[in-house]
Structure 1
Amino acid sequence: MSAPTGHDGLRARKKQRTRSALVEAGLDLFLRHGYDATTVDEIAAAVEVSPRTFFRYFAGKEDIALAKGAELDEQIVTAFLDAPTGEPPLPALRRAVLSMVRDSASTEGVPNFLRLQHLINRTPSLLAGSLRRSSETQHRIAEEIGRRHGVDAARDLRPHVLVGVVFTGLHLGLEAMCADPRRDLDRLVELVGRAVDLASAGVPDRWGDEPDSW
């Protein structure tokens, strides 16, 4: 067997850079000109690649708009998986959600972070795609909660209910912040945290043994 070279690694890094550049260019154009008014040709031109190259990475511009949301979901999953296995699921998931919000809004800037949320919520095709992706993420987290806490998430509804109410709080908190005149990071985290707490108010940190009650 021949010794591995750095060629494959270099090619993979180049592909990742091109993909990231397409996402950033697409989001910038969406936010400046609107989703419907932006074309694939314009996104490709902004990165100085051909439309043919664009379609090697994405099926269409919807995938560009939803790519960032997929990254945010992965941040939540990763942060939750990093929590100690014995920690109650509600505080662990709450902390993972707020960590994603703070880190992402710090990196993107609160206005751009919220403009992207607003764009998705106001574009039916993007909202439908975002909800599908979020549902898949919630299912993954619920399965992990079940595994960690010794319940069958296919039969016990509590992991799915817990994840559902936390994500509902996240979405409501983001909507509330979109309507808030302030664009302050601490205010964003506060609103999302408050919405998550209200949504999950009936969920205890630790559950009982009966699957039909907390």
Structure 2
Amino acid sequence: MTTAPSLRERKKQRTRQALVDAALTLFGEHGFGRVTLDEVCDEVEVSKRTFFRYFRGKEDVAMAPLEDMWRAFLEELENAPADGRPLLGLMESTLLAALDRVADEAWAGRAVLSYRLLQATPSMDAHGLHFCESTMRSVLAVLHRRLDLPDDARPRLAGDMMVAAWRHALEAWAATAADPPSASDLAARFRDAMAALPGSLTLTAAPRPADGAAH
């Protein structure tokens, strides 16, 4: 049985979320580089000392919605059933469980804003790449601790393919998201991308037919 968070924990979560919302709004209106941490803190009426209890900097707060999903993925991975299914299938169902866990009614809108900022901001892109690599190392550590996996490239390549499918789904979703955006649409796009992986491995490099040639 899950224990309900204490009043103190709920207040901390509200403060953290208020910082994320204020940052995403200000960055979206004025540009990531033109907004200071002081302005974000002033918007929520907290000190920079309070800000740094939750985030390491502007990139961290701007990417919080997406990074929260991956942290939930790592937590879900600790309890995912080791039932002998293909590793890609296990990771797919685990990511979908993590997405369902974090995707409250406001998450999708925040995630779209976060991803669009990521696409437009070089420092956020670099931060995202670093976070992705760090997260993948953590994923592999959990997998090797819990599962009987070979000590070769295959687990890492499976993880990289799963991340590639997620990025493909996220990019298409953020570009065409409805208003309000739907996390269930993102989940469906991710399932479709994962389903396309086997076919991508068997694509042939055949030359294009000459113009006018019969098909």
Q: Normalising to structure 1: TM-score of the pair?
A: 0.74
- Supply the AA of the counterpart residue of 2:152: D
For structure 1, the 5+ residue unaligned runs are: 1-8, 204-214
Of 10-19 and 32-41, more deviation after overlay is shown by: 10-19
For structure 2, the 5+ residue unaligned runs are: 1-5, 202-215
Q: 1:90 to 1:135 in 2, by over 3 A?
A: same
Give the aligned partner of residue 191 of structure 2: 193
Contact persistence 1:167–1:196 (CA under 8 A): no
Give the aligned partner of residue 131 of structure 1: 129
CA distance, structure 2, for counterparts of residue 102 and residue 122 of structure 1: 27
Note the C-alpha offset of 1:87.
4.1
Query: What is the correspondence of 1:134-153 to structure 2 with a 5 Å cutoff?
Result: 134-151=132-149
Give the aligned partner of residue 162 of structure 2: 166
Of 84-93 and 169-178, more deviation after overlay is shown by: 84-93
The counterpart of 1:156, out of the listed 152, 159, 167, is 152
- Supply the AA of the counterpart residue of 1:196: M
How big is each residue's C-alpha offset from its partner over 1:92-138, in whole Å with a ceiling of 9 and x where there is no partner? 21012223334444432534322211211221111111111111111
- Supply the AA of the counterpart residue of 1:158: R
Give the aligned partner of residue 204 of structure 2: none
Query: What is the correspondence of 1:1-214 to structure 2 with a 5 Å cutoff?
Result: 18-55=15-52, 57-88=54-85, 89-151=87-149, 155-180=151-176, 182=178, 183-199=181-197
- Supply the AA of the counterpart residue of 1:93: M
Contact persistence 1:26–1:65 (CA under 8 A): yes
SS of aligned partner of 2:35? coil
C-alpha RMSD of matched pairs (Å): 2.9
Q: Normalising to structure 2: TM-score of the pair?
A: 0.74
% identical aligned pairs: 32
SS of aligned partner of 1:107? coil
Q: 1:78 to 1:51 in 2, by over 3 A?
A: closer
- Supply the AA of the counterpart residue of 2:168: L
Contact persistence 1:104–1:113 (CA under 8 A): no
Contact persistence 2:20–2:62 (CA under 8 A): yes
Note the C-alpha offset of 1:78.
1.7
- Supply the AA of the counterpart residue of 1:100: A
CA distance, structure 2, for counterparts of residue 201 and residue 80 of structure 1: 26
Q: 1:10 to 1:178 in 2, by over 3 A?
A: closer
